Structure formats: C-alpha cells, structure tokens
Amino acid sequence: MATETKKALQGGEFLIRESDPQDIFIPEEFNEEQRMIAQSALEFLQQNVWTQLDRIDAMEEGLMPSLLDKAGELGLLGISVPEDLGGFGKDFVTTMLVTEVTGAGHSFSVAMAAHTGIGTLPILYYGNEEQRKKYIPKLATGECKASYCLTEPSAGSDANSGKTKAVLTDDGKHYIINGQKMWITNGGFADIFTVFAKIVDPKTGKEDDNLSAFIVEKDFGGITLNPEEKKMGIKGSSTRQVFFNDCKVPVENLLSERGNGFKIAVNILNIGRIKLAGAALGGAKAVVDQSVKYANERLQFGRPISSFGAIRQKLADQATYSYVLESATFRCSNDMEQAIEALEAAVRTTQRPC
Ligand SMILES: Cc1cc2nc3c(=O)[nH]c(=O)nc-3n(C[C@H](O)[C@H](O)[C@H](O)COP(=O)(O)OP(=O)(O)OC[C@H]3O[C@@H](n4cnc5c(N)ncnc54)[C@H](O)[C@@H]3O)c2cc1C
C-alpha cells in the first residue's frame, strides 16, 4: 500500500541506513485509484493540451486560464486539497503521480504546477481557518488563479534581502505594500498573489529582519504588470514583473505571523523542488516515447535508425536515466507521505515534533 504508515525517515537518513527492499516504495505499487486519477490527467492532456501547443506557445489571450478552468472542473487542481476545502484530499504520492503525468504538458504544466504548488500551498499550509475557507475552495476549482511573488531584481537566491515594504496604516486596519517582483509565473492572469514583504515601523522607519507573507487579491488595486517575458522555452507560461504601488491589504490577510514569511517561502519551495522532479520525469518519459517512435520511423541506409548501435545506446541511456529518476522520485514521495502522516499523528496527540 502506498500510504501504509511506517517509521518516517529523518533528513538524509536514507543515505546511511540499511533499507529493507520491502520498505522502499516503487511505482508498481500504485493502487487502482491512483492509476485511474493518472489516466484522467493523461486524457486531459491528450484532449486539451497536446492538441493546441502552438496556440499555447503563442500565449493566445485567455487560453491558459481557460485550460486551468477545465483542469479545475476535472478536479486536477484540488488533488492534495482536503475534502472539507473542496478538494480530493489525496496523499502526496498521488499528487506526485499527477504532477508526473501533467509534467508532459509543456507550458501548461508550469502554469498548473505554479497554481497548485507555490500558488496554493502557502495558504493551505500556513493560512488560518478563515483564510483557508475563503481562498482554498476557489483555488481548488480554478475559479481563482494563484501566483507566488518572492523574487525581486536584487533578491533571487538571497530571497530574504527583498526590498518590498509593508507599512501598517494609522487606523491599524491595512498594510500598504510597495515594491517590485519579477519572473512571477501566472502573473499575467493571477487573481491571488502570495506576496513576501518586510514590515516597516512607520514611526522609526525600521524594517523587520525577516520577510512577512501576505495574501493579496488583484482586486485590492495598486497592482500593475510589465509585458510578458520572452523566454527561450516554456513560452506559453506567463512570466511577468509585478509592481505593488500603495496596494492596500487588510491586516487579516497577513499569512501566519509577522516575520514568518521567509520560513514560509523556503518551506513552500522545498515542496516545489520535489514536484519539479516529478514534472521533469513526465517530460523525460514523453521524450523517450517520441525518440523511440522517431527512431523506428526514420529510415537511413534502408533501415530504421533504431537498428544502429549508437542510436540504441542513446535510447537506452534515456530509458535508464528516466528509470533512475522515477525510482528516486517515488521513493522520496512515499518517504514524504510517511513524514506527513507522522507529523499529523503528532499534531493529533499535540506532541509537535518540531
Ligand atoms: C521561468 C521562471 C519562472 C519563475 N517563477 C517565479 C515565481 O513564480 N515566483 C518567484 O518568486 N520567482 C520566480 N522565479 C525566480 C526564481 O525563483 C529565481 O530565478 C531564483 O530564485 C534564482 O534567483 P536568480 O535568478 O536571481 O539567480 P541568482 O540568485 O542571481 O543566482 C545566479 C547564480 O549564482 C548561484 N549562486 C547564488 N548564490 C550562491 C551561493 N551562495 N553559492 C554558490 N552559488 C550561488 C546560483 O545558483 C545561480 O547559478 C522564476 C524564474 C524563472 C526563470
């Protein structure tokens, strides 16, 4: 069983501990339900995405949001969202399987991953009950599209050095956000932005050492966008600069606690990292399929090029690397599911492990 509770591994323990092969999750263990969900995701790509890659790459107005709407109708945006918030409440392995399948969706996979991952997870993981109830159901269905605004012109890897500021109004009811974010995926059509900014004391002008996080609705006003970036790849994915000019955010939209934003930012990116592996796996498998098909069809010297040793070696390397990536990704996914279950069990018994 994919989600059977076993002792959760600590950090890099898997590297040094003797492992029983029975304890290592392999893709052959996907259950019937997981396979059916993966099949629906594949059919979604076949019917809606692969048929119009040129239109997607040309960034046809409204196309990407409409694809996210369709994915939302199918439930693909709410796989990991709890059922009481409008999702399917599936485990992390299922989420990763869907991420793998949709990873073969070219630019669409970037929009979907940003929406379901860095767009939705800050509110899902760190929002209070009211915030979760207000925003998560709309994100799970795709009614609202989400983005994550951390990077700035001078703050990339050193994310905590961002210059975006939030100042509390005199009546204590709003934060006024000013600043510039860049390379924001889904920026062109997002309705909700998780924005990282440093709170500044209006009297002393002193800013916090650490970022805070805010849930910002586009309708709050004070948000402007630069044109789409012209990228070398994933051309259909929206990537914009987002400017906040006296953007007025209600105090109840502070996410978690003041100064907790950097922790939120990096924890969300940690989930993003393994999901990126899943998406890359889906892309890699699609490339293997295309390569084999082409090598079998293409004739040179009167034979399919797949009969030549050098081509066979390339195909074998592709298959081997994909297999290694698949094994590592799903072993790690199940380890994470077990860690999540252990954490939830500890929370239930109020013994927080960290
Ligand atoms: C297509 C795309 C979509 C994106 N979407 C989003 C988004 O939705 N939201 C968002 O907030 N951001 C987004 N980003 C920004 C992305 O998160 C940043 O690019 C990333 O944080 C790295 O920052 P940087 O590009 O400024 O690189 P830099 O920080 O300038 O790094 C440049 C190089 O220096 C290396 N380097 C930096 N520090 C060290 C060090 N201490 N030791 C050794 N090497 C180091 C880096 O590894 C890198 O190779 C996106 C970027 C792209 C390209």
Q: Is residue 162 part of a domain?
A: no
φ, ψ (nearest 5 deg) of residue 193? -120, 130
Q: What's the domain range around 299?
A: 265-348
Instruction: Give the number of C-alpha atoms closer than 13 A to the C-alpha of residue 35, restricted to the C-beta side.
Output: 6
Distance of CA 316 to the CA centre of its chain: 30
Q: Is residue 57 part of a domain?
A: no
> What is the whole-number distance in angstroms between the Cα of residue 173 and the centre of ligand 1?
34
- How far is it, in rounded angstroms, from Cα 343 to Cα 340? 5
* CA separation, residue 327 to residues 29, 288, 295 (Å): 12, 16, 26
165-168 and 223-225: which strand pairing?
A: unpaired
What pLDDT does residue 43 have? 98
Mean pLDDT of 32-57: 98
> What is the whole-number distance in angstroms between the Cα of residue 10 and the centre of ligand 1?
28
Q: Are 192 and 119 in contact, with CB atoms under 8 Å apart? A: yes
- Is pLDDT at 154 greater than 80 in this prediction? yes
Nearest residue (by CA) to ligand 1, atom 22, is: 156
> What is the whole-number distance in angstroms between the Cα of residue 112 and the centre of ligand 1?
20
Q: Give the 3-state secondary structure of residue 200.
A: strand
- How far is it, in rounded angstroms, from Cα 87 to Cα 77? 8
What pLDDT does residue 19 have? 82
Longest dimension (CA), the chain: 81
Instruction: Dihedral sign for Cα 310, 314, 319, 323, please.
Output: positive
Q: Is residue 227 part of a domain?
A: no
Ligand 1 touching residue 249 (CB < 6 A) = no
Nearest residue (by CA) to ligand 1, atom 43, is: 157
Ligand 1 touching residue 351 (CB < 6 A) = no
Ligand 1 touching residue 193 (CB < 6 A) = no
Reported as a single tens digit per residue, the pLDDT across 193-214 is 999 999 999 889 999 999 999 9
Q: Is residue 284 part of a domain?
A: yes
> What is the whole-number distance in angstroms between the Cα of residue 156 and the centre of ligand 1?
5
* CA separation, residue 69 to residues 105, 301, 344 (Å): 15, 49, 31
What pLDDT does residue 1 have? 45
Q: Is residue 297 part of a domain?
A: yes
Domain count, the chain: 1
Q: Is residue 288 part of a domain?
A: yes
Cβ-based neighbour number of residue 281 at 10 Å: 23
Global confidence as pTM: 0.93
- Amino acid residing at 238: S
Beta bridge partners of 184: 240
Ligand 1 touching residue 184 (CB < 6 A) = yes
- Specify the CATH number for the domain of residue 324: 1.20.140.10
- How far is it, in rounded angstroms, from Cα 354 to Cα 327? 29
224 conformational bin, left if phi > 0, alpha if psi -120 to 50, beta if neither: beta
Q: Is residue 270 part of a domain?
A: yes
Out of 112, 157, 184, give the residue to mutate to test ligand 1, the one with the largest number of ligand atoms within 8 Å of its CB.
Answer: 157
Q: Is residue 291 part of a domain?
A: yes
The band of 354, judged by pLDDT with boundaries at 50, 70 and 90, is very low
